Amino acid sequence: MINLILFGPPGSGKGTQAKQLESKYNLVHVSTGDLFRYEIGNKTPLGLKAKEYMNAGHLVPDEVTIGMLQNKVNANSDAKGFIFDGFPRTIPQCEALDSFLDTKDDQVNCLIALDVDEEEIVTRLLKRGESSGRPDDSNEEVIRNRIKVYKDETEVVYGYYDKKKLSSTVDGMGTIDEIFDRLSVAIDENV
Ligand code: AMP
């Protein structure tokens, strides 16, 4: 199995790139943000729990997020591998992912971070908010809070996998195709 973590701040292009990488490498794209939005759309108990955290730009508690992620992976037992997008976002999530994959004799192969300027992120997210209908993209204060949460709570994930020599960074500025080509080179070098 190939298990990739596509990493970077909100608005760095992880979702856009993951969709293209999914078909190129024949992997299953798992976005915890998309999974939460699906649950919210269906008004499930999990969705109702996640909604207030998401709308404020906070992280949903680890136990909720980890359980949901494990269910998604288990539901795709015939997958060649996974692209994790927006997960893990905390060290307990990293530890849970590693031990979960370990029970399947599997592991994370690499983490690739997209590096994007902060002001570019705010511009991209506000623009996305005009059409995505996402409440967390429509308000600059919530966007800035998500970036702060990323710096305070999520950036450490890079170091966690860097200690295992699995982390690398690509330039996330430029066109979608340029970034896709850089990611493909990084993946081919690392898996
Ligand atoms: P995203 O679509 O990745 O930007 O995620 C949107 C929101 O979903 C985040 O701001 C969090 O509130 C929540 N979320 C997504 N993934 C996670 C995660 N791994 N841990 C905690 N909260 C998450």
Ligand 1 in reach of 6 Cβ (< 6 A): no
The first and second tokens of residue 2, run together, are: 């190939």
CA of 33 to the centre of ligand 1 (A): 5
pLDDT value, residue 191:
86
**Does the beta carbon of 84 lie inside 6 Å of ligand 1?**
no
Look up the pTM and report it: 0.97
* 48 alpha carbon, distance to own chain's centre: 21
Block residue for tokens 């070098």: 189
Q: Where are the domains of the chain?
A: 2-186
* Token output for 136: 């967390």
Task: Identify whether the C-beta of residue 169 lies closer than 8 Å to the C-beta of residue 9.
Answer: no
Calculate how far, in angstroms, residue 146's C-alpha sits from the geometric centre of ligand 1. 9
Residues 60-90, buried b or exposed e (16+ Cβ, 10 A)?
Answer: bebebbbebbeebbeeeeeeebbbbbbbbbb
pLDDT per residue, tens digit, the chain (191 aa), is 999 999 999 999 999 999 999 999 999 999 999 999 999 999 999 999 999 999 999 999 999 999 999 999 999 999 999 999 999 999 999 999 999 999 999 999 999 999 999 999 999 999 999 998 899 999 999 999 999 999 999 999 999 999 999 999 999 999 999 999 999 999 999 88
What are 43-81's pLDDT values in tens digits? 999 999 999 999 999 999 999 999 999 999 999 999 999
CA of 114 to the centre of ligand 1 (A): 17
Q: How far is the CA of 61 from the centre of ligand 1 (A)?
A: 10
Q: What's the CATH fold of domain 2-186? A: Rossmann fold (3.40.50)
Q: What is the DSSP letter of 94?
A: H
Are the C-beta atoms of 186 and 168 separated by less than 8 Å?
Answer: yes
List CB contacts of 166: < 8 A, sequence separation 6 or more: 108, 109, 110, 111, 190
